[in-house]
Amino acid sequence: MAYIIIETCVGCEVCKKVCPVDAIHGEKKEVLTINDSCIECGACGRICPYKSVTDTYRNPCKNIKKTLWEKPRFDTDTCMACILCVDTCPTGCIGLKGPLNSKRKDKFPFLEDKKICIGCGFCADECPVDAIEMVAGG
């Protein structure tokens, strides 16, 4: 588990709301904790307004406005339609559409729900042909 919530936490629960796997626990207005079900997506650290989430090296995570979080951009010319990105996404924000042209009958991934994307980059990490680029503000 790479992320830890430190004692500066005020228990606002913003991190708890954004966590896709319910790994953050505790009571409102108390210091929250992250349990072993954490998938290390980093959303909790990006959303915390108090810099109370630390990274692997115990450095406070940088708060980033949610509208500026990186989102996946899909290159359908490179994509081989394996759907690993869809299977990897912890929030289910990647959908499939297609076929895009008469040459290929495959369905291709796209960012179906931008609002629930947490910018974890797992989709890009898993893409075997590097057809996904994470871009700020997506």
Give tens-digit pLDDT for 94-125.
Answer: 999 987 666 667 789 999 999 999 999 999 99
Specify whether 86 is located in the same domain as 114. yes
3-state secondary structure 34-97: ECCCCCCCCHHHHHCCCCCEECCCCCECCCCCHHHCEEEEECCCCCCCCCHHHHHCCCCCEEEE
- The span from the CA of 126 to the CA of 129, in Å, is 9
In a domain, residue 59? The reply is no
Nearest CA-CA partner of 132 in 90, 95, 78, 53 = 78
What token pair was written down for 125? 């990490």
In a domain, residue 28? The reply is yes
Q: How many domains does the chain have?
A: 2
Residue 1 has pLDDT above 70, yes or no: no
Specify whether 16 is located in the same domain as 39. yes
In a domain, residue 14? The reply is yes
Q: 45-49, 55-59, 118-122: which range is least confident on average?
A: 55-59
Specify whether 50 is located in the same domain as 71. no
3-state secondary structure 110-129: EECCHHHCCCCCHHHHHCCC
The pTM of this model reads 0.88
Give tens-digit pLDDT for 62-92.
Answer: 999 999 999 999 998 899 999 999 999 999 9
Q: Average pLDDT, stretch 27-51?
A: 96
Specify whether 96 is located in the same domain as 34. no
Q: What residue numbers bound the domain in which 131 lies?
A: 66-136
Specify whether 71 is located in the same domain as 132. yes
Specify whether 30 is located in the same domain as 73. no
Specify whether 73 is located in the same domain as 128. yes
The domain that contains 19 carries what CATH number?
Answer: 3.30.70.20
Cα-only R_g, the chain:
17
- The span from the CA of 114 to the CA of 137, in Å, is 10
Specify whether 83 is located in the same domain as 45. no
